[in-house]
Every structure is written in C-alpha cells, then in structure tokens.
Amino acid sequence: MNVLREELVPMFIATVALSLLLTLAFAGAGFPKLSGKDEMAAELGRLGVSAGFTRVIGALEILGAIGLIIGLWITVLGIAAATGLALLMAGAVAAHVRARDDAKRTLPSLVLLILSAITLGLGLAGL
C-alpha cells in the first residue's frame, strides 16, 4: 500500500499546486507556438528562432505540461518533465539576454525557470 508519509504531505501539496500552475502556463504558451500564430512567430523570430523550431518549442512545452500532470502519479515522469521545462526556460532566458531584452520581456521566462526548478526539487525530495 502506497501511503504518503505525514511529513511529505505539505511537499506533495506544493508539488501539485506548482504542477497545475505550470501546466496551465506551458499549455497556454505552447499551443500558440505549435499552431504557428503570427505574433508568436514574430516574437521568437526576433530572438533568432525559426518558425519550424518555434513549433518544436511549442510541442515540448505541451509535452512538458502533460508530463507534469502524469508526474503526480508517476514521479519519475514529473521529474523528467520539470527538468526538461527548466532547461527549455534556461534557453529562453539565454535568448532574451543575448537579444539584450529588458526585464519585462525576460521576466516571464525567468519566473517559469524558477518555478520549474522548484518543482523539480520537490519531486526529487519526495523520492
């Protein structure tokens, strides 16, 4: 019987909350990229990302969001999804820095990077 130890309950609640929040954020960001919305392609094009790679990024964001949800039952998958999303956002932050973007344009990627890293840490701590 798989019973959650009492001391892990707050950590599990935090993991669920962050996973749900990140799922909404990444699904919301991924679908416009995957569908090739003009404004999204223009924004990423400004950062040097091709239209084809924009779709790949969108697909990875959606797959990561799905992985976070499934990861609530299959921990290793949640850890893998959080790792992938954190790496994806590290690349996004680097692209914004390379483009000399201001904080307003860089901050969303940085916040998602931090939240993904926290989710990853919570997943690892729960093993």
Domain boundaries, the chain: 6-125
Return the pLDDT at 41.
80
Q: How far apart are CA 42 and CA 35, in angstroms?
A: 13
Q: How far apart are CA 3 and CA 124, in angstroms?
A: 18
pLDDT digits (tens, 9 = 90+) for 84-117: 999 999 999 999 999 999 999 999 999 999 999 9
Residue 46 CA to its chain's centroid (Å): 21
Burial (Cβ within 10 Å: 0-12, 13-18, ≥19) of residue 59: middle
DSSP state of 6: G
Q: The pTM is what?
A: 0.91
